[in-house]
């Protein structure tokens, strides 16, 4: 069964810390992987998309890496800010399907 | 990034009525859109895949006669919740697929059935 796991479910840190968010997935034959951010009561904002042939993507203070062989992706957030507080979701698309399979998300709180 | 809109953002209706939710891709064409629902503090659950010009594909356990999906154009998909009941109250989110198969999500619709 193709599953996506995010651990821990929640994280609270002081402002300024560099953070690593983890995502693991079964079945290494992925098509791509996306990281999203969701604010309470809102839709999802796409942060980074990594194709299966790529190892990492960067956008501003965010960097996402992909290691298919170990079934892992990490989202690195540099110099965290209170505005980064949100739920972060990892989603995987496997080859042969258009669907995204989501992890349960990780709620991040960055304290001033 | 690409923009996907949903309308309405919130709707309150009486039990037994039908509610239509629209999902539009504003600056790109999308042959494939997806509909999800999300319960409080839970992740997204895929309901169905909406393909322009053809019937939607529903996930196991989702009643196609209750959740009617129409994808009549490359920029619009609609979800109609028929004969809504309180257990249908949820947050409904759509997404549209852009180049490189990146999915962009709408802001969601909060449905409350009284």
pLDDT tens for B24-54 read 999 888 888 999 999 888 889 999 999 888 8
pLDDT of residue B1 exceeding 70: no
Residues A49-105 have pLDDT tens digits of: 999 999 999 999 999 999 999 999 999 999 999 999 999 999 999 988 888 999 999
Tokens at residue B24, please? 């539009």
Closest CA to B84 of B2, B6, B5, B21: B21
The distance of A22 to chain B (nearest Cα, Å) reads 16
Which residues numbered 16-75 in B keep a CB inside 8 Å of some CB on A?
32, 34, 42-44, 46, 49
Identify the contact set of chain A against chain B, taking CB-CB distances under 8 A. Answer: 31-32, 34, 36, 41-46, 49, 51, 89, 91, 93, 98-100, 102-105
Tokens at residue B35, please? 């509909």
Residue B100: φ, ψ to 5°: 60, 10
Rounded Cα distance, A85 and A108, in Å: 5
């Amino acid at each position: 069964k193709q599953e996506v796991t995010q651990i821990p479910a929640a994280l609270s840190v002081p402002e300024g810390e560099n953070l690593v968010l983890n995502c693991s997935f079964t079945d290494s034959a992925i098509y791509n992987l996306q990281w999203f951010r969701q604010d309470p009561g809102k839709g999802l904002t796409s942060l980074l998309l990594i194709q299966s042939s790529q190892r990492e993507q960067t956008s501003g203070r965010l960097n996402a890496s992909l290691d298919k062989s170990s079934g892992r992706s990490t989202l690195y957030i540099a110099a965290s800010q209170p505005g980064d507080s949100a739920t972060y979701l990892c989603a995987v698309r496997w080859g042969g399907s258009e669907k995204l399979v989501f992890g349960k998300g990780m709620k991040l709180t960055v304290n001033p | 990034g690409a923009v996907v809109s949903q309308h309405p953002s919130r709707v309150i209706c009486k039990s037994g009525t039908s509610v239509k939710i629209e999902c539009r891709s504003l600056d790109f064409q999308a042959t494939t859109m997806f509909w999800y629902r999300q319960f409080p503090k839970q992740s997204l659950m895929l309901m169905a895949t909406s393909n322009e010009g053809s019937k939607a594909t529903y996930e196991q356990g989702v009643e196609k006669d209750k959740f009617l999906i129409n994808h009549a154009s490359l920029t619009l998909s609609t979800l109609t919740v028929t004969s809504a009941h309180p257990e249908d109250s949820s947050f409904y989110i759509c997404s549209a697929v852009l180049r490189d198969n990146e999915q962009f999500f709408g802001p969601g619709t909060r449905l409350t059935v009284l």
